[in-house]
């Protein structure tokens, strides 16, 4: 799978274009790319979302440039399951077709923070549940259930449970449509005492693994 976070932001940017800043739109598996210029909605900036996903001994990267809102420009966080770890960060600049600096990804930590979460992955559904658990480390002190659904000219449904940083939980559930694709991304986080967390859920947003940049 490829990370869908960049795809959502690109869809949102295309769905809300207006007379404002022009930004390059492209994606790559390296740390740079070039592409066509798009007109952003008013108040948006030119942004980069950089993500790495580690599964076993293999690490893959994704890099995407497009229009981002100001709150998306400060995104930095990570999530971990028993099978993988994802780290992502964003940066922005504010002139026509500028290229933002490469954002710094969150660091690693092996220090258990007292939180234990369920852990599972689904590549075919917006729901997963398991008795498997994972001990959270560092700043990943929230349990998440993330679901992503994309429909239209291409379709995809994914779900993840694991440990997450609070930063992902602050973004809120969102949806968008553009170029024949509709996306709905929901990130549900638990808050409460240490130990295996269950019960009260708050909506949030993220995603993993994205389709090729806009067909």
Q: In this structure, how many other beta carbons lie within 10 angstroms of the beta carbon of residue 34?
A: 10
Give residue 156's pLDDT band: very low, low, confident or very high (50, 70, 90): confident
What does the pLDDT read at residue 172? 63
**Separation of alpha carbons 128 and 158, rounded Å:** 9
Domain ranges of the chain: 5-204
Average pLDDT, stretch 49-70? Answer: 92
Give the 3-state secondary structure of residue 5: helix
Phi/psi class of residue 192: alpha, beta or left (left: φ > 0; alpha: ψ in -120 to 50)?
left
Average pLDDT, stretch 184-196? Answer: 68
Distance of CA 100 to the CA centre of its chain: 18
Q: Two tokens at 66?
A: 């497009």
pLDDT digits 0-9 by tens, 79-129:
999 999 999 999 999 999 999 999 999 999 999 999 999 999 998 999 998
- Assess whether pLDDT exceeds 60 at residue 163: yes
pLDDT digits 0-9 by tens, 102-115:
999 999 999 999 99
Instruction: Evaluate whether 90 touches 71 at the Cβ level (below 8 Å).
Output: no
CA distances to 64, 180, 213 from 23, rounded to whole Å, are: 12, 21, 15
């Amino acid at each position: 799978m490829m990370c869908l976070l960049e795809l959502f932001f690109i869809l949102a940017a295309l769905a809300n274009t207006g007379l404002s800043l022009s930004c390059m739109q492209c994606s790559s598996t390296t740390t740079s790319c070039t592409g066509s210029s798009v007109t952003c909605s008013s108040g948006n900036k030119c942004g980069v979302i950089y993500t790495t996903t580690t599964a076993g001994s293999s690490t893959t990267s994704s890099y995407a440039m497009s229009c981002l809102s100001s709150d998306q420009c400060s995104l930095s966080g990570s999530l971990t399951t028993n099978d993988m770890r994802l780290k992502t960060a964003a940066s922005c600049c504010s002139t026509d077709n500028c290229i933002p600096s490469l954002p710094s990804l969150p660091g690693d930590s092996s220090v258990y923070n007292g939180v234990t979460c369920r852990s599972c992955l689904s590549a075919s559904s917006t729901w997963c549940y398991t008795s498997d658990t994972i001990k959270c480390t560092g700043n990943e002190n929230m349990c998440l259930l993330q679901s992503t659904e994309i429909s239209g000219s291409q379709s995809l449904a994914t779900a993840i449970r694991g440990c997450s940083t609070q930063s992902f939980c602050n973004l809120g559930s969102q949806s968008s449509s553009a170029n024949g694709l509709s996306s709905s991304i929901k990130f549900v986080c638990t808050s409460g005492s240490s130990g295996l967390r269950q019960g009260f859920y708050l909506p949030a947003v993220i995603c993993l693994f994205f389709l090729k940049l806009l067909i």
